[in-house]
Amino acid sequence: MKKVAISIGDLNGVGVEIALLAHDKIKRFCEPLYVIDGKLLFQASKMLGLDIPKDFKTCKVSKNFKIKPGKVSKKSGLYSFKSFKKAIDLAKKDKVDAIVTLPINKEAWNKAGIRYKGHTEVLSDLFKKEAIMMIGCKKLFSLLYTQHIPLKDVSKTVKTKKLYNFFIDIDNSLKTKKIAVLGLNPHAGDGGVIGDEEKKIKKAIKKANKTLKKELFYGPLVPDTAFSPKNIKNLRYLVAIYHDQGLIPVKTLYFKESINVSLNLPIVRTSVDHGTAFDIAYKGKKPSLKSYINAVKEAVKLS
Amino acid sequence: MKKVAISIGDLNGVGVEIALLAHDKIKRFCEPLYVIDGKLLFQASKMLGLDIPKDFKTCKVSKNFKIKPGKVSKKSGLYSFKSFKKAIDLAKKDKVDAIVTLPINKEAWNKAGIRYKGHTEVLSDLFKKEAIMMIGCKKLFSLLYTQHIPLKDVSKTVKTKKLYNFFIDIDNSLKTKKIAVLGLNPHAGDGGVIGDEEKKIKKAIKKANKTLKKELFYGPLVPDTAFSPKNIKNLRYLVAIYHDQGLIPVKTLYFKESINVSLNLPIVRTSVDHGTAFDIAYKGKKPSLKSYINAVKEAVKLS
């Protein structure tokens, strides 16, 4: 059975509750190691009114602090960062086969002096490799060519060579037969009438397929009709040129099931695709476990 | 009962079949006038193997030509343009209360020397007013702030004054209580970290609401989560800053039901939201009537 380190996320949020509630389910297909200290787990379980399962394996991370449900706090932010770093470390040392991350709070990271925007940036920095962000569920995964950049800067990044490298990187970390690529402009440029970045996309697809000696990538597709009921049947993996192009369809159709996967790294990392949900943390409001369970499943599959 | 002129679209496509098949349904709530000559209707009905209902009212448009199913043709392109122009004329002269347009083929228009990109451009030019394109169905309508322009040019168009005018124009042609406005950037800019056009959007919303003396517009919303099952319940009308932002969710969720409405004009015009479907024209493959029937209903409602 694959070993999976679970970084606990911001303890003032819903992460630890999700971990406790889903434990019986995920232990059927992996051996989870929760990256949280026993004392803090004990504190959280008391506050949540949840038992700690006897096979809930934890590990040392950092010193104890007081959990404050729903609060942005420096201590909780710092702890979530340390839990994440420890999980990465376990994977690097091959003590686990993959890591799954529970949500952190960006503001809390900021308060704790951590200058990263999120998990993915930490990974890219640590491994000196651009992590590829893939979001979705097994029905539809979007691979983001650009992530958190202003929309006005997207066009400039569309270059044949850069796209080509992105395609080759995808093939290195994903085993599948067909990956659709979206166009950038309305109607995918309508033959060059509404923008011409599609020419570069087309060239990069051709070049990548030639190198890979298979017809892996196809497109560019017209973005707005790619997800119609008729067309979506044929989609499973999809390259989106910009953030919202890939995430609007995924979140519109599969909001609760969606997960976040970091590809192109020496370790396997998946994550829930939701935040800390401070508004419902420690209120007995049973957060959805779907995204988390899917994330653990995908981590096992990829490792 | 409201009178509605139906421009017949490209006769080599599915338009006339849709008109014949849906006649019994739409005559229950309007008095349709089909902008097609009797001779051509007779030719099409023979080829389709469909009866012409005795109350199927037509009018003179232009001279006869040979229908060629699924073919891009100069003659058919020109006829579709003339049918559209005639329909507009009927509306301008108050002979009808609204017009509904069946799909034309852009390439055929091009072949016929017609330099417009589509219906909406003709209307804007004819009435010397920027038509506002609204696409969707009664569950979700997207109003497009920009239409067929390259994605790289979208940011430049985001100006407080221009947005403000757009909002005021919307209020002039649409009666509703709440209209959401999307942000432009990932996470709606995340407080200015990923682009700052959202500031201008916010300012324009505030200004428009002040002028209108009501809280009609709100936002900017984070684009990728705006359509999650929880959030979409509260959406009905939506301002999208660019084409695909508004159309991806509409076409993902409501492809068959969707229609196209031209607002901000002195006449009411709605349209099906699909093309000529040359691949299935005159093959007895029963095209979907949903979009057309919804378009006629909305035309009656708006007039």
As for the ipTM of the complex, it is: 0.89
**Are B228 and A252 inside 8 Å of each other by CB?**
yes
Any chain A CB within 8 A of the CB of B72? no
pLDDT at B62: 97
Distance separating alpha carbons of residues A273 and A249, to the nearest angstrom: 14
Show the domains of chain B with their CATH numbers: 1-127+266-303 (3.40.718.10), 132-264 (3.40.718.10)
The minimum CA-CA distance between B190 and chain A, rounded to whole Å, is 10
Any chain A CB within 8 A of the CB of B224? yes
Q: How confident is the model at residue B191 (pLDDT cuts 50, 70, 90)?
A: confident
Residue B230 scores a pLDDT above 90:
no
Tens digits of residue pLDDT in B80-122: 999 999 999 999 999 999 999 999 998 999 999 999 988 998 9
Question: Given this model, what pLDDT does residue A294 score?
Answer: 96
What tokens does B46 get?
A: 């023979």
pLDDT of amino acid B26: 98
Contact present, B55 and B290 (Cβ < 8 Å): no
Looking at beta carbons, which residues of chain A come within 8 Å of B229?
Answer: 255-256
Chain centroid to Cα A13, Å, comes to: 18
pLDDT cut 90: percent of chain B above it: 90
pLDDT given at position B296: 98
One-letter amino acid at A303 equals S
- The structure tokens listed for B85 are 């122009």
Neighbours of B65 (CB within 10 A): 16
- Cα B170 to Cα A232, B21, B158, B261: the distances in Å are 32, 34, 16, 12
Cα(A38)–Cα(B132) distance, rounded to whole angstroms? 60
- Secondary structure element (H or E) that encloses residue B141, with its range: strand B140-144
Own/partner long-range contacts of B118-125 (Cβ < 8 Å, ≥24 apart): B119/B84, B119/B262, B119/B269, B119/B271, B120/B147, B120/B260, B120/B262, B122/B84, B122/B85, B122/B88, B123/B88, B123/B262, B123/B265, B123/B269
Tens digit of pLDDT per residue, chain A (303 long)? 999 999 999 999 999 999 999 999 999 999 999 999 999 999 999 999 999 999 999 999 999 999 999 999 999 999 999 999 999 999 999 999 999 999 999 899 999 999 998 899 899 999 999 999 999 999 999 999 999 899 999 999 999 999 999 999 999 989 899 999 999 999 999 888 899 999 999 999 999 999 999 999 999 999 999 999 889 988 999 999 999 999 999 999 999 999 999 999 999 999 999 899 999 999 999 999 999 999 999 999 998
> What number is the average pLDDT over the span B125-145?
95
Name the maximum alpha-carbon separation found in chain A.
64
Q: Residues A172, A270: contact at Cβ < 8 Å?
A: no
pLDDT bin (cut points 50, 70, 90) of residue B179 is very high
Distance from CA of B61 to the nearest CA of A (A): 30
Surface of A (131-170) touching B: CB under 8 A: 147-152, 154-156
The whole-number pLDDT of residue A217 equals 98
Is the entire prediction scored with pTM above 0.95? no
Hey, of B110, B228, B247, B252, which one would you mutate to test binding to chain A, going by the most A CBs within 10 A of its CB? B252
- Looking at residue B196, what DSSP letter applies? S
- Residue B262 has a pLDDT of 96
- Contact list in A for residue B255 (CB cut-off 8 A) is 225, 228-230
Q: Do B248 and A154 touch (CB under 8 A)?
A: no
Pairing of strands B237-240, B179-182: parallel
